[in-house]
Amino acid sequence: MNLPKSLAFFAARDKVEPLRNYVYRRGIHNYEAVSVNRKTGMARLSLIGAAKGIVITSQALFEFELCVRTEDPSEDGPKGDILIKGCTEITNIHETESFVKTGRLYGEKCGLDVKFAVLQNAVQATVDVEILRAPVCGFDLKAYAKTSGFTDVIRLFEGAAKAGRRLSSVVAVGRRSHLDLCIRGSSVDSDPSQNLLYEQWECRFDACYHGTVSEEVHFFFILRQFQ
């Protein structure tokens, strides 16, 4: 079952830089078709990069709006039906230890679950991935991160990638902790008679105030056919 194509944004603000920091944003010509899990009734939205970390000194504001795209809307008519819209605050967080929390935002037609991490004494890490070489048809790329010792996986990117493409993401990391990165790639092939193998690269980076680490990763894609 597919959810109708959606228009939406999810943004956060802090007092340090009170402009909208978009975590998710889709326009009428850049909609996303998402699938609903039959068992849970839930759908997952693809985040965008590079969203910056939010500084929580006293409060942070979350704004959200999710719409269903109207098929062939008239010029004067609405572009979509609103599923959920509103804002909420996180205030007075005085925990001494970092933690991960899930909260639910309620609307008239649906709910929106949001998982976020609050990290004490954190720094901001920018993850840049540039595709130097790739097959003409490209390849399937997945990039994930784990931060500050938590097991929760942060999905940085999933999709097709070709040579020359550059991806940028931002992840907050506790000062005395580390950032785990995992990049997985597999060749693009639609032949169902072949089993696609993937190459995977993992690395751990210690948090620091300033510095740049550069790694060049080589993937060799092999198609193996089983009799």
Looking at residues 205-216, what average pLDDT do you find? 85
Q: What is the mean pLDDT of residues 88-99?
A: 78
Domain ranges of the chain: 6-118, 123-224
Q: What is the CATH number of domain 123-224?
A: 2.60.40
Q: pLDDT higher for 219 or 61? A: 61
Of the two residues 135 and 126, the one the predictor is more confident about is: 126
Confidence tier at 179 by pLDDT (50, 70, 90)? very high
Which residue has tokens 């062939």? 72
pTM of the model: 0.75
pLDDT confidence bin for 225, thresholds 50/70/90: very low
Res 70: pLDDT = 66
Which of 9, 13, 83 shows the shortest CA–CA distance to 48? 9
What confidence tier does 106 reach under pLDDT thresholds 50, 70, 90? confident
Q: What was the pLDDT predicted at 144?
A: 92
Mean pLDDT of 190-214: 75
pLDDT band at 221 (very low <50, low <70, confident <90, very high): low
Work out the average pLDDT over 186-205: 70
Q: Which of 15-19, 73-77, 174-178, 186-190 has the lowest mean pLDDT?
A: 73-77
Q: What is the mean pLDDT of the chain?
A: 79
Say if residues 3 and 38 touch (Cβ distance below 8 Å): no
> Rounded to whole angstroms, what are the CA distances from 148 to 54, 59, 65?
16, 22, 30
- 156: which residues sit within 8 A by CB, 6+ positions away? 49, 127, 129, 143, 144, 145, 167, 169, 171
The answer to whether residues 169 and 50 touch, using CB atoms and an 8 Å cutoff, is yes
Q: Which residues contact 192 (CB under 8 A, 6 or more apart)?
A: none
